[in-house]
Structure 1
Amino acid sequence: MQSATMSTTKHKGLLELTRTLLLQQTMTSLLETLTKVIQTAGIAEAVTLVLFDNNSERVSFYGIDSHHQPVSYEDETMLATGPVHTLLNNPKTQVWRGDALHLRYPQLAVLNLYPPFSDYCLVPLLASSGLLGGCEFTRQHGTPFSEEDKNGLYELCTLAAIAVEQIQLRQNALLQQSLLRHERDDFRILVDITNAVLSKLDLDELTGEIAKTIHHFFHINAISIVLCDADKESEQASVYATHYVQTHVAEREQSRMTLDGSLEQQVMKNGEMLLTSVQHTGEPDDDESTLFQLLWRGQTKTLCILPLRFGHKTLGVLKLAQCQPDNFNSANLRVLQQIAERIAIAVDNALAYQEIKSLKEKLQHENLYLTEQINSNNPDFSDIVGRSSSMSAVLKQVEIVAKSDCSVLILGETGTGKELIARAIHNLGDRRDQRMVKMNCAAMPAGLMESDLFGHEKGSFTGATAQRMGRFELADRGTLFLDEVGEIPVELQPKLLRILQEQEFERVGGNKLISVDVRMIAATNRDLRQMVADKEFRSDLYYRLNVFPIVIPPLRERPEDIPQLVKFLTYKIAKRMKRTIDSIPAETLRLLSRMPWPGNVRELENVIERAVLLTRGTVLDLQLPELNYPLPLPVSPPERAMPVSDPAPAPHLSEEDERERILQVLRETNGVVAGPRGAAQRLGLKRTTLLSRMKKLGIAAH
């Protein structure tokens, strides 16, 4: 009965001891508990732990000194080759006398980790995961460890091994949690920096944002981005430096540096991070910015230079400097390398954007230049030559109508300069900064005119392989100039009228209404009023176009402008041909002023161009005998010409013969002048030209 009671008490004691050991959270608290147990039992005075590292040959030592302070030590030589090493091959309890142990393992005394002892006992720590190490017990009173002591210590170490295993598992779990927290924090830093820098396309903004975020997360006070020039042969680089002398107060500087022989060039070439310390003497240093020299004079700085590589391109380096090296620990360096990879992407984007922006600006300037060459803004009418009363009246009309948005109809014979007047109206108006789109209706086939004016949808007709914008869309917010508007087919005129009234239309083959804001300027050399009478032109479209008519007088009605025109054209053509013509004979000017010029300014320009080409000196040589005026009159386009039996009046006919010929044709046409069956068509003349000759010859129009 007494034996059973003693057994129960013993089991309760073991259970309580086990619970006490397993409650310990650290190796130090476990050692303190074991020390109390062995001292209470009188088995030993001190206890230490020597534990193996599973991933290396290293062992860890845990003890408590005479002042009850924890002692820890790690090595892979002295302790690892001591008594604990024998447990790897023979995990049994070892008992040593102090002198014999120091004689066998003299390195233990050198380490000075143990309190003085006379006897030593090493018990293996065996757990479910294997051999953990050994538990060392020491005595100071000179009594050797007996077998009974050894058995008692072995039982105690069986429980201690479980406690050690639990503490190691807990420590590993805490370490993993800490690593996960660091990885999470690093990930957040990477995400924040990535979001901050990838949205910046301007290099100056990008480098400033990089410095701001690195300073915020790592408290680094000197951040530089060094970017090598695009020219691979160049040894120059641009430096974007930011320095934080005070917290959150940034001092920024841009400079240039020579890469030859620099640390930056070394990092760019080998692609490896460089970490080094440099003593700043305060003397000028070409390798550093002026700002850094002023702010960090006389201090030792730690430099971290990371390559900025994207794909196969080396863009430059990220250069970090700090007077306290703590920020460049292994964990931070790992994150900074990842940050440098993301910065390289952002820098590459910014450089590409900078290049695109530069090309775009170049194209805009070239486009502006070409536009100026094509639509030269001449508010002083520098290309419109002529100061006759009739031309002065025209120019006054242009100035009046230019500031409004009303439709303008320019009337005049071929070659009078209707397009010049249209451009003057556009350039003097509020739409001068927008495009003036031109379309010659006479040169456009009737079947393609609708598509060219209004655009078409893909597949709307054979050959429409893609959607196309029409001239009205191209001229949105600008001006559309329709030259030879009288040639627009009757079936297309209602659609043109609609867009003039409502400023909206549909593409060919489409059903979507497209709204535009277009100013209309039209020009023609035909009599639209007569065409309306002949049902060749819609009256409502005519009235819509004829809001503000401007009639350009033919050259023969303003002979006083011819000398000025001749001089202007001679200078312009000679300059284009790289010729020098100093003077024009007065007789030449008088002769040219007396000619009828049925082709108007265009014809005069052709004559001057031929004369400049044939002139061998510096005086314009017109070669009058070869001119053989009056010149043949232009005929109407072949598609509108009617077959006639009688030829047009020859230029050499006398006035009386010409009068009789015109009267004969008028009798044949019953007095009709215009139209497809009119006298003008039969004679091969324009209606206005025929009327002018009839007036000259005293023939009344019926």
Structure 2
Amino acid sequence: MSYTPMGDLGQHGLFDITRTLLQQADLAGVSEALTRLAKQSALADRAAIILWQPGNHRARYYASAQPGAPIEYEDETYLAYGPVRRLLSRPDALYCSHDEFSEAWPQLAESGLYDPFAQYCLLPLAAEGRIFGGCEFIRNDARPWTEKEFQRLHTLAQIVAVVTEQIQSRVSNNVDYDLLCHERDNFRILVAITNAVLSRLDIDELVSEVAKEIHHYFCIDAISIVLRSNHKGKLNIYSSHYLDENEPVHDQSVVDEAGTLSERVFKSKEMLLLKLHEGDALAPYERMLFNMWGNQLQTLCLLPLMSGDKMLGVLKLAQCDEKVFNTANLKLLRQIAERVSIALDNALAYQEIHRLKERLVDENLALTEQLNNVDSEFGEIIGRSEAMYSVLKQVEMVAQSDSTVLILGETGTGKELIARAIHNLSGRNGRRMVKMNCAAMPAGLLESDLFGHERGAFTGASAQRIGRFELADKSSLFLDEVGDMPLELQPKLLRVLQEQEFERLGSNKLIQTDVRLIAATNRDLKKMVTDREFRSDLYYRLNVFPIHLPPLRERPDDIPLLVKAFTTKIARRLGRQIDSIPAETLRTLSRMEWPGNVRELENVIERAVLLTRGSVLQLSLPEISIESDTPELAAEKPLDGEDEAQQILRVLKETNGVVAGPKGAAQRLGLKRTTLLSRMKRLGIDKDMLV
């Protein structure tokens, strides 16, 4: 069961809620007030209280259909064997939908007590370790409770448990006014101490606050919390002693557990109340008390601090006046110990989380140094930027499904690496992922490579060939640069995606295949559809789950990690020993635009490793500059009578076929590199033929 500080209740302060509930005359009024508070806090639409009567195995139900219309119901059948019976056997929160509720308790669902609802939550009502009922919260809409809302519901249930216990006691015993005032005061003490301690996450602060409150309300001068140490057989004792009212002494010590009073409580899990004389066999802590208080008779009360069945520690109280530990005070101190247990559980959990967080930071630093120990294209996906974190979350979400994934991104961003990650995280990772680059394959052979062919299907087909779709059966097929697939082949790809069947070239036999397709492209498929360069129906079939892979310039935080990983991997491959990378080098690389993205960065690092003499990476980038030293060239105007193709050919010849960079053809033409390449492809211009 999780808890939250009891002050975290939105606009309703703890005292206002408690006062509102305690002012009710009976439990029907409490349930009506509780419903009103739950609605105001947007926690629930209805609330009710169910009490268990162990003597006759009956259950009583208190609710309010509408203001002024209370509902009280009692039986030993449907309600008694409903959710409250399960709560008694399994004392944790019960949460279910309306369908699950109706399936588990069909007769109760049809009894008329419950109007249609969407979400149901039942939390235990407990006092002194005994569950005596449950607190119901119901939502009419399907919106599930968040973790924070669950914590607030737990807090409300704790208050209702105390209020219910108070009202039951008041009604059943007909207590007089003085006793009511006394209980009210005790409750105020309980609330005050609860508020004071539940927000303390540091053990020292928690002990100091517990000691201050207990000393203030009970005049107890020695207060300690005893915890088991990480060292076997040792106890950590956090103590506060009020020798001086204004300057308490805070102390922390480590003692042997054997022979101590705390050891007895740890074993029995029961409260221990006793008197100690100077001549008794004393453990170090008790001996210190006698020395501190001049060998006076000591009365000690040791209360177990429990979280469920687990012993967290011991609350140890000592005082010379034995009247402090009367029956009424002991009952209240037990309740206080329960609240201190919750606070201690929170503090220990926070302490563990902090320890694990520090350990994670250390492990992350160590793993960063070892990123390239894994044999794969980039070692593994490297990136801690927000952009890459978003990509990896999408990969995690889609991997376990069989949905088609379309990876979009510029050349060199690592689209194949993302495809491999999707495959490795999927249920198909038992078989190897099949991949194919649609741009690297001649159009005439692409169909045969994808779907296979029979012997004699065309000239040169001297043997049967298995296609990629057949090879990828029960696995994943990665089609890289799918935007370069010829138009005439796209309908056949669409068919195999829709029907999961195809025919080899030269055969009319249908072949069934179970393939999960992962496609990738650096082209704007939406614009290609508009330009009728790509089929719209295939585009929508591929675009089921698009993942946009950011270019390297949009995640500069990842560049230092990539540089270190590439340097280690390449240096190992080339037999070089490079121990460090200058910070200025990392800053320089992080400021670059990297039109070729991760692939370009890796090539630059490989060149740097080759040129490095010594153990410190030496970066030499004569052809790359962060800011151009020359003024930006104006876009060239075409010469008289010169069309677009002629102009591009002329500028390419003048730049010796260089497209990108400050002296490249794209700069002179006033175009982006990708725009120029696209136009060259459309016009059939091959720059390699010009050089």
TM-score, scaled to structure 2: 0.39
TM-score, scaled to structure 1: 0.38
